[in-house]
Structure 1
């Protein structure tokens, strides 16, 4: 059980990077971008192909990030310069990326099992630190199951996810970032102030998809393969992470909102892992589980808010009634 949850948290922090990208478009820019389902695979395919060609894994991962940025910028150009609806722009780019990803890999699936990935290098560098033995000894001392592999991936992914979070926080607090946030609130007002909204949207969507592509590159190296269909339903996973995080941790500030997105992604992976351990559910039910999680996350806050509103109204009626009786 512990090993399953460990793996869920491990992959959760990688998917948190993707969720931060989705947060930038859906929440900050108010741009429903479906490019992510293609750019995630683009990141995975570029990284996998580069590693197979002998390029160092860290360089391959950076190349994947830039590939995602280019894909996002093209979507932004289709919307701003081509005057195509934002949703349709994302769909068109996602469709085009399917063929581009097949071209990059030259096959539907590209294996990395016989290649050295960034995580293999990480484990090798981590092996002599003695940290694994100390952590597993601590788990044994409290009666938990020891993890047979290495803690390096989890610890490094936590660090990487929070570095990207802090960079996102910093960007959104700069002058450009504040203008980008304002576009999502009122594009016409920002345009009236002579701000170049087109460039801001293009860069914002590009940054979003660079995060998504980076997550795709890391997932491919973690799983040992890149598949042309691995991005299907990814937008729902991203939204589920955002909605769960916002419902549990709130969104009063940018720092709190991005933290909520990261924690929401981890909680989502844990929920899915626990759900799949139920006897009547199978691996193929993951999309159904995701849909149910999103529905619950969307409906529950509204139900709670509705009940609170009813309680406030009832208390107000009682106060008015008590005040009327007192005057009588």
Structure 2
């Protein structure tokens, strides 16, 4: 009997897709990364696994390994958002364009902790007998609603749809406009498929060759409905490799530095990206927390992500006094499956921007 999707995938926070892994043997409880104290404990013990840029917009800054490249997980999707927003601002894309759900799902690999399913439910789209895909692939959705699903629920099929629609050069241009040079962009669909041995590239393949290999895999997968069915059946029946193997896989996924990620978030918040494009992007990044703004704050933009052993976030705070806080946190290393399920990588950024006392404690944790 095929495994249910709950056996296959682990439910995730809205911004952080997770992958399946069997539960580990009982061990001492790790730091709770849903709490400030848990983050201070983890950071103090894993300073070599942290990249951090934190600027409160009032003259105070913390930097720790800001130029060390680490896995990005879904935090990379801010690049796809910036490219989309630039295309909308320039009239190259219509946000109201109707898109066939089946074309969206050509890039969908069900390893995302129900992110795509949650997006379908949010849009009122019924699922098929697997509970993982749209029951009616001919159903149409607005392009802007797909982009919203990419940010709010971390749908991982939308980025590849956008990259193919706009071209890879558009993503590089949008990132560079925000101060992010040397962008490492790849097929997210293929990177997930690399978890299965039949799709994986040679272990020591350099990143450019891995990227090219991935684009070939993506083209096969997106063009072949039978192959997509085979992959779905394979995942439902066999699941994914054990968590330690997933950690090894995640180490080689798309990477960047905290400085690069923070630069693009800052550009969006401060109109350093062309103002019309920045406004479109802010609308998406600031929507999830728009109903929870403290006094004096006009917008909090955030996009985080997770992969086995990885928690990431980019965040900005726009204030009514005209100041803008910005930052990025890339945590990589000793992060358990349980910590992935509850950990909030935006928490230490938000507290460090808004609470001087907590920022001082964070600085001490970084010193050891």
What's the TM-score, normalizing by structure 2?
0.25
Which protein has greater RCO, CA pairs closer than 8 Å, 6+ apart? Answer: 1
Bigger share in strand: 2
Q: Which has the higher helix share?
A: 1
> TM-score, structure 1 length as denominator?
0.26
